[in-house]
């Protein structure tokens, strides 16, 4: 039965083009990873401005790899040529589409409904959601069996881990296919059950939520907390990391995990983040979050 399913499903060699939806922090890194692995990559965003910033950032990421000696000039040229951009969803025609837009169920469902039609139900629809159950995203689709979670980590062109999450209707053969695809990107797949926040974001919630509480209780400053955590061996402190992730994105994920666990107090989102978002201070991407960044 299993082999039969796999026989009728797409093979890795049949994936030649990848659609990446959302040209923000994650879409940029995912597009670079796909292009470096040799896939034709079409990057779509509703915002022309986001597309322009996305393209600039992608060039910068690849240039940094060249200057660090990690990428040859030839590979740089090849990768850049593989990436095209569009602000027309109807142009997102690909065997595999990876969605990386805002952490909002309705927006993701609406997009997937469109993408399923555009691709005549023949594509794999993967979501980079950090916390929304795949089963919920897929329930609006004609073929929920073709929907799966592919959760990359930030920065996506550098970080090796990808959580592969199957919804209740996901075809088992698709899990295998996405593990192969992940390996083709030079990354490591970990299969995870469909539950709020999956593994990494569920465990990591306390790194952020508790640090925000420590700040709220004025135990020490946020810079002090970052310094302590770095000294304790973490690569980054929680506030630096929230700035890198995007405070809006981090807040949306906490809210989603909080809702997913029936408002368990331990996941309660912090007002500090809410305030920062209201002020437009979203972190590195907006030039200011907990810290200030030059806009260069």
Ligand X SMILES: NC(=O)c1ccc[n+]([C@@H]2O[C@H](COP(=O)([O-])OP(=O)(O)OC[C@H]3O[C@@H](n4cnc5c(N)ncnc54)[C@H](O)[C@@H]3O)[C@@H](O)[C@H]2O)c1
Residues belonging to the active site: 130, 151, 163, 201
Q: What's the min distance (Å) between Cβ of 129 and ligand X?
A: 5
Let me know if 67 is exposed, middle or buried by CB neighbors in 10 A (0-12, 13-18, 19+). exposed
Could you give the CA distance from residue 156 to residue 253 in angstroms, rounded to a whole number? Answer: 17
Backbone φ and ψ for 106, nearest 5 degrees, come out as -65, -45
Could you give the CA distance from residue 167 to residue 147 in angstroms, rounded to a whole number? Answer: 7
Stretch in the footprint of ligand X (CB under 6 A) among 23-31, 74-82, 135-143, 182-190: 23-31
Q: What's the min distance (Å) between Cβ of 73 and ligand X?
A: 28
Q: What's the min distance (Å) between Cβ of 47 and ligand X?
A: 4
Of the residues 103, 194, 240, 243, which one makes contact with ligand X according to CB under 6 A: 103
Q: What's the min distance (Å) between Cβ of 101 and ligand X?
A: 4
Q: Check residue 113 for interaction with ligand X (CB under 6 A).
A: no
Residue closer to ligand X by CB (options 39, 152) is: 152
What are the Cα distances from residue 265, in Å, to 196, 205, 219, 272? 15, 12, 20, 16
Q: Check residue 204 for interaction with ligand X (CB under 6 A).
A: no
Q: Please, which residues have CB within 8 angstroms of residue 98's CB and are 6 or more apart in sequence?
A: 18, 19, 20, 21, 30, 34, 126, 127, 128, 150
Q: Check residue 164 for interaction with ligand X (CB under 6 A).
A: no
Q: Residues in contact with ligand X, total (CB under 6 A)?
A: 28
Closest CB to ligand X: residue number? 24
Let me know if 89 is exposed, middle or buried by CB neighbors in 10 A (0-12, 13-18, 19+). middle
Stretch in the footprint of ligand X (CB under 6 A) among 116-124, 148-156, 176-184, 189-197: 148-156
Q: Which residues bind ligand X (CB under 6 A)?
A: 21-27, 44-47, 50, 100-103, 107, 111, 128-130, 152-154, 245-246, 249, 253
């Amino acid at each position: 039965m299993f082999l039969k399913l796999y026989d009728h499903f797409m093979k890795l060699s049949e994936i030649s083009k990848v659609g990446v939806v959302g040209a923000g922090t994650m879409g940029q890194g995912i597009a670079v990873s796909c292009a470096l692995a040799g896939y034709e990559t079409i990057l779509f965003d509703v915002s022309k401005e986001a597309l322009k910033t996305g393209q600039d950032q992608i060039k910068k990421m690849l240039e940094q790899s060249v200057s660090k000696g990690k990428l040859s000039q030839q590979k740089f040229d090849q990768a850049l040529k593989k990436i095209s951009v569009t602000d027309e969803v109807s142009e997102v025609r690909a065997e595999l589409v990876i969605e990386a837009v805002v952490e909002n169920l309705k927006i993701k469902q609406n997009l997937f409904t469109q993408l399923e039609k555009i691709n005549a139900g023949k594509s794999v629809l993967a979501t980079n959601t950090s916390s929304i159950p795949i089963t919920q995203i897929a329930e609006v689709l004609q073929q929920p069996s073709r929907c799966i979670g592919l959760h990359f980590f930030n920065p996506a062109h550098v970080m090796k881990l990808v959580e592969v999450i199957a919804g209740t209707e996901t075809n088992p053969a698709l899990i295998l296919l996405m593990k192969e695809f992940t390996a083709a990107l030079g990354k490591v797949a970990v299969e995870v059950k469909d539950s709020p926040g999956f593994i990494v974001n569920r465990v990591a919630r306390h790194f952020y939520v508790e640090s925000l509480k420590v700040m709220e209780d004025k135990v020490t400053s946020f810079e002090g907390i970052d310094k302590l955590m770095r000294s304790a061996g973490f690569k980054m402190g929680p506030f630096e990391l929230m700035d890198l992730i995007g405070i809006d994105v981090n807040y949306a994920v906490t809210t989603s995990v909080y809702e997913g666990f029936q408002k368990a107090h331990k996941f309660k989102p912090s007002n500090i983040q809410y305030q920062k978002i209201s002020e437009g201070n979203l972190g590195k991407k907006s030039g200011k979050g907990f810290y200030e960044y030059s806009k260069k």
